[in-house]
Structure 1
Amino acid sequence: MKAHRLILAAGLAVACTGCATGLNSHQKAELRQYEARGQAVQEKNPGTGAALGLLPGGGSFYGREYGLGVVNLLLWPLSILWDPVSGHDAAEAINYHATKEHLRGEREKELSTLDSNLQTGQIDMTQYTLEKRKIDQKYGIN
């Protein structure tokens, strides 16, 4: 009976692990570009997420994956095989989405200022077009 529960719990953990919100290869490359340009927002430290994954459910809880954290808590110490990776990947995903949202907001502010300058006659359409291109390049829109 105990072995049956352990197998059921392990199956549940494997099923939940597939629900983890890691980044795809394109998103990882995009995050690396933001980091290289100094634009990345770091809400969570991936190294901390991985280290906390050695504790019962720690990596998942740190990465805001509470359901998986409970499963990993119940399966500890077996969960140390996958929870450090889950904690690392979740922290990266949080940072990626925080960066995208931050940059979206910054771009919108700059475009709003640019639009105001055009409307008030501080710049002409040629200057507007040049400045908009610079903003688009700054935020990775080609």
Structure 2
Amino acid sequence: MQKVLVLAAVLIAACVLQGCTSLGRADEVRLRELNAVGIQDTDVKVKHPGLAAGLNILPGFGNFYLAAGTNESAQWTYGFLNLLLWPVSVVWGVPEAAIDANTINKKETVYYYTYDPMGKKELKELQVQFEEPSDVEDQASL
């Protein structure tokens, strides 16, 4: 019985202390650049935070939703661990899924405006608009 309790405690600690999905330094810098021209952090929405959080009330379903169709393979592991530790995992699983969905959307926003041809075109148009002085500023300088 003692070994089972120790194993359960270790598993719970591992789940609570596990890292959520995070942005790399380069992605954080790129998001600041995008924000400077009026693009919001989560303009590209591939995962919905409310849905991910709601699904994680069920054992790990929110994490499975986040893993499906993304490069976030760690979400499969988080979902499995949440499944094993359900119903206690709801305590950390629900907010974790919402936060991770926002982070995934941020990553997708960076990817879209950095690598996707349509995103690059949109960004270029926004940068041109941002750099051009408006007519009001031109008249004020006269």
Does TM-score exceed 0.5, indicating one fold? yes
Cα distance per residue 1:25-55 (max 9 Å; x no partner) = xx5x96986349xx81111101001101111
Q: CA RMSD in A?
A: 3.5
- Shift in alpha-carbon separation, 1:23–1:48, aligned structure 2, 3 A: farther
State the Cα distance separating 1:60 from its structure 2 match: 2.0
The amino acid that maps onto 1:87 is: A
State the Cα distance separating 1:63 from its structure 2 match: 2.3
Work out whether residues 23 and 107 of structure 2, in 8 Å CA contact, stay in contact via their aligned partners in 1.
Answer: no
Q: SS in structure 2 opposite 1:82?
A: helix
Work out whether residues 23 and 89 of structure 1, in 8 Å CA contact, stay in contact via their aligned partners in 2.
Answer: no
Q: SS in structure 2 opposite 1:76?
A: coil
- Shift in alpha-carbon separation, 1:8–1:47, aligned structure 2, 3 A: same
Aligned to 2:80: 70
- Shift in alpha-carbon separation, 1:81–1:107, aligned structure 2, 3 A: closer
TM-score by length of 2: 0.62
Aligned to 1:87: 97
State how far apart, in whole Å, the 1-side matches of 2:14 and 2:61 are. Answer: 18
Q: SS in structure 2 opposite 1:4?
A: helix
Q: Which runs of 5 or more residues in structure 2 are unaligned?
A: 68-74, 132-142
Matches within 5 A, 1:106-117: 106=118, 108-109=120-121
State the Cα distance separating 1:93 from its structure 2 match: 1.2
Aligned to 1:5: 7
The amino acid that maps onto 1:72 is: N
Work out whether residues 112 and 120 of structure 2, in 8 Å CA contact, stay in contact via their aligned partners in 1.
Answer: no
Of residues 101, 104, 126, the one that matches 2:111 is 101
Matches within 5 A, 1:1-40: 1=1, 2-16=4-18, 19-22=19-22, 34-35=39-40, 40=43
Report which of the two structures shows the higher radius of gyration computed on alpha carbons: 1
Deviates more, 1:5-14 or 1:49-58: 5-14
TM-score by length of 1: 0.62
The amino acid that maps onto 2:15 is: A
- Shift in alpha-carbon separation, 1:71–1:22, aligned structure 2, 3 A: same
State the Cα distance separating 1:22 from its structure 2 match: 4.3
State how far apart, in whole Å, the 1-side matches of 2:84 and 2:45 are. Answer: 29
- Shift in alpha-carbon separation, 1:80–1:110, aligned structure 2, 3 A: closer
Work out whether residues 56 and 97 of structure 2, in 8 Å CA contact, stay in contact via their aligned partners in 1.
Answer: yes
The amino acid that maps onto 2:110 is: K
State the Cα distance separating 1:94 from its structure 2 match: 1.3
